[in-house]
Amino acid sequence: MLIIGLSLGLLIVLFLSGVPVAFAFALVVVLMSSILGYDLNFLLPYAFERMSSMIILSIPLFIIAGLIMERGNITRPLIDFVNSVVGRIRGGLGAAGTIADAIFGAISGSAAAAIACIGTIMIPRLVEEEGYPRGYASSLMSAAAGIALLIPPSFSMILYGWITYTSITACFLAGALPGVLLTTIFITINWVMVGRYHEVKKPPAWPGIKQASREIGRTGWRALPALFMPILILGTIYGGIATPTEAAAVAVIYAIPVGFLVYRGLTPRNFAAALIEASTNIGAIMVALFFAMILGRMLVMENVPQAIAAFMTSITENKYLLLLMVNAFLFLVGMFMDDITGMIISAPLLFPIIKEIGISPVHFAAIITTNLTMGLMTPPMAPLVFLGQMIGKTTFPDMIKTSMLFVFLGYMPVVLITTYWAPIAEWLPVLALGEKILIPAY
């Protein structure tokens, strides 16, 4: 067990040192297999078998679709439409950016893509047109980008379902209500904060019903092709027409003509650039997943999940205290790892504990994803904060105070509600798929 602990410690050190995730996993796998005497000829076929799953193919397809839509100039019509609906309340443009992040999450499933795409447009508008402090505007858009991991489809949910053999459709549904709740909380926080920033412009007066309807109709018509994409993805999945992988493929096929012909943001040059960037991201993720599967297999063979479960239950057998310990573990993981790496490490380690205390795998999908999403905003790693800093052209000190405000008043309440109130995660999956979906597959 000492070797296991040192190896996992080395993995964290490599992450913090900036070593690419795939190389970090590969190095730890080689060291552990050498020291513990594992034969890679036995472990490699297992990883190849796991990677050959059709489910995992949905991740590269969603990455391609998201990047095509990002380069295809879809965000401005989305933002204009949402702003025409909520823009005349206090903090309306900030609310529009938050909702646009949620909608874009339903297209891309990636928090990084959401802040890169929505933040690039929204932060300058919030600062220059509305008078928002730059650090606060960057914090708001960074925090809101995390909603993309809860609003389906979600890379993290796909990984969780693949690792734990849980229905991907059920996992998607499990994150929907926490995502809506988080969106609502962020809009409320922004409404309060804007009232404290006197330099922020007051919203324009409401026009007549006819003029407002005309504006909403005009912007809605312009945004319709973009809004149809999440409807297409989620409708085909929940309607039983397509699997998540098939829906991701349909999204790619749909995104290309919309980007070229409707919004005309795509050109042959930036389309090729999008495919090259997608290929780079996909390659890095797939290599990391391959070695992570080998590492996970070795951890299972060394009975590490069982040892963690035994340690936690030796402290207490109270279900609620055990859930609190699980949240504390995930909070620490989120501080040092991104959501994908954290999911690869945490899901197989914690799943035996969750089964032992009677938590359904669907409920745990929401628990682990909300925790790891919050981790994207917590130092020292805080990838969304650093991305927001670069995109917003501000400094870390200017962002960190308000970023922690969104963590403690936004993410943390949602994590606790999701953890201790199962219906917020289970109601939609049971409604759509029946009670049987709550039973573990293994």
* pLDDT value of residue 441: 62
| Residues 371-427: tens digit of each pLDDT | 999 998 988 778 888 888 988 988 888 898 899 999 999 999 999 999 999 999 999
> 10 lies in a domain?
no
User: What is the pLDDT averaged over residues 123-134?
Assistant: 91
- Residue pair 441/165 in contact by the 8 Å Cβ criterion: yes
- Has residue 252 got a pLDDT over 70? yes
User: What is the pLDDT averaged over residues 186-195?
Assistant: 93
| Residues 430-442: tens digit of each pLDDT | 998 888 888 776 5
> 178 lies in a domain?
yes
Share of the chain above pLDDT 70, in %: 99
> 330 lies in a domain?
yes
> 132 lies in a domain?
yes
| Residues 146-168: tens digit of each pLDDT | 998 899 888 889 999 998 989 89
Tokens for 420, please give them.
Answer: 């201790």
Please tell me the total count of domains within the chain.
1
Give dist(CA 185, CA 146) in Å, integer.
13
Q: In three state form, how does the secondary structure of 181-222 look?
A: HHHHHHHHHHHHHHHHCCCCCCCCCCCCHHHHHHHHHHHHHH
Its domain, for residue 150, covers 25-438
Tokens for 379, please give them.
Answer: 């130092």
* pLDDT value of residue 442: 59
> 301 lies in a domain?
yes
Burial readout 412-441 (b: 16 or more C-beta within 10 A, e: otherwise): bebbebbbeebebbbebbbeebeeebbeee
Tell me the residue type at 185: I
User: What is the pLDDT averaged over residues 239-248?
Assistant: 85
> 32 lies in a domain?
yes
> 9 lies in a domain?
no
User: What is the pLDDT averaged over residues 300-314?
Assistant: 81
pLDDT tier for residue 58 given thresholds of 50, 70 and 90: confident
pLDDT tier for residue 1 given thresholds of 50, 70 and 90: low
Mean pLDDT of the residues in the chain: 87
- Residue 313's nearest CA partner among 328, 296, 326, 327 is 326
- Residue pair 349/160 in contact by the 8 Å Cβ criterion: no
Give dist(CA 114, CA 112) in Å, integer.
5
Structure letter (DSSP) for residue 242? S
Computed on alpha carbons and rounded to an integer, the radius of gyration of the chain in Å comes to 22
> 17 lies in a domain?
no
Phi then psi for 238, rounded to 5 degrees?
-75, -20
